[in-house]
Structure 1
């Protein structure tokens, strides 16, 4: 199944990038330029795609405000259930958004975070073998590589909780990355 860029995914990238309006418009045009990768109903009309992205951006900002209020009120379990009911594998979606960001946000070539932050973003406190398999599968599917400082390749299962992990786009065919899976 081919991944297609949805307005919701593009909205997340725009929110994370925090770009000025002119740069946002350029980013939307860049995303739509290769419209084979855009959801089918938006492949014929760039303005329709841009309007859908703006609607999603507003919706996600409102949702984020509601989530913040729910977290302050101590209702985090209800939020986690809502996220899991959304459909696709949240681990794969998380890394697809990172890939989209690295491909299309100008000047963004890597994403750096601690393993602890990654686990928290995914809604976990501990690293289980099943979660590590899901993360590794998602990294392979999105062709992201994991490095530590000094550009040293690292596997998720070998990283400490406070290890800074650098996510970069994996080169197409490089012999150094074949052994890491």
Structure 2
């Protein structure tokens, strides 16, 4: 379940994708830390300063990723001079991971939006994952994500629904439980 927790990189990707300003970013991190901290990785749950610093580190990285990635060979040479190793994976990462879909949705529903629901077609949601059809593995992941983030799904009329049983063109409403 660790992959479901918010990392500083996840938060930076979400903040960057939503073009949040400094004040909005600060407000989001503050609310997340005080109201929803159990969804943060363990090293951030009791250290707000570390959360802020790490998120801003990744925001800086994302703002100029091509330049920083181009400098990686020089940085690697410097590390080699001192007999140290740096893993390329820890420096160069992909920008937007599929896991961010529900993480972003939870933040929007709780802290960023004016609405307490998000509505979209199932086909649109699947497209966000690069899928056209529902596989058993994907459905299991979607159900686990909905359960972990306490998100309930409804179809038109307010009836609860199961993602594996509705049509691809059904409009789904997502809400936080409780």
TM-score, L = length of structure 1: 0.63
Match of 1:78 in 2: none
Aligned residues: 148
Match of 2:80 in 1: none
SS of the aligned residue for 1:155 comes to coil
* 1:119-139 residue CA offsets vs partner (Å, 9 max, x unmatched): 111121211233223322322
Higher mean C-alpha displacement, 19-28 vs 98-107: 98-107
Match of 1:94 in 2: 101
Cα deviation, residue 61, structure 1: 5.3
Larger Rg: 2
Match of 2:41 in 1: 39
SS of the aligned residue for 1:117 comes to helix
Match of 1:155 in 2: 162
Q: Is the aligned partner of 1:136 residue 2:137?
A: no
Residues in 2 aligned to 1:145 and 1:132: alpha-carbon distance in whole angstroms: 15
RMSD: 3.2
Unaligned runs of 5+ in 2: 67-88
Contact kept, 8 Å, 1:35 with 1:43, in 2: the verdict is no
Match of 1:179 in 2: none
Larger relative helix fraction = 1
Residues in 2 aligned to 1:9 and 1:57: alpha-carbon distance in whole angstroms: 10
Q: Is the aligned partner of 1:114 residue 2:121?
A: yes
SS of the aligned residue for 2:164 comes to helix
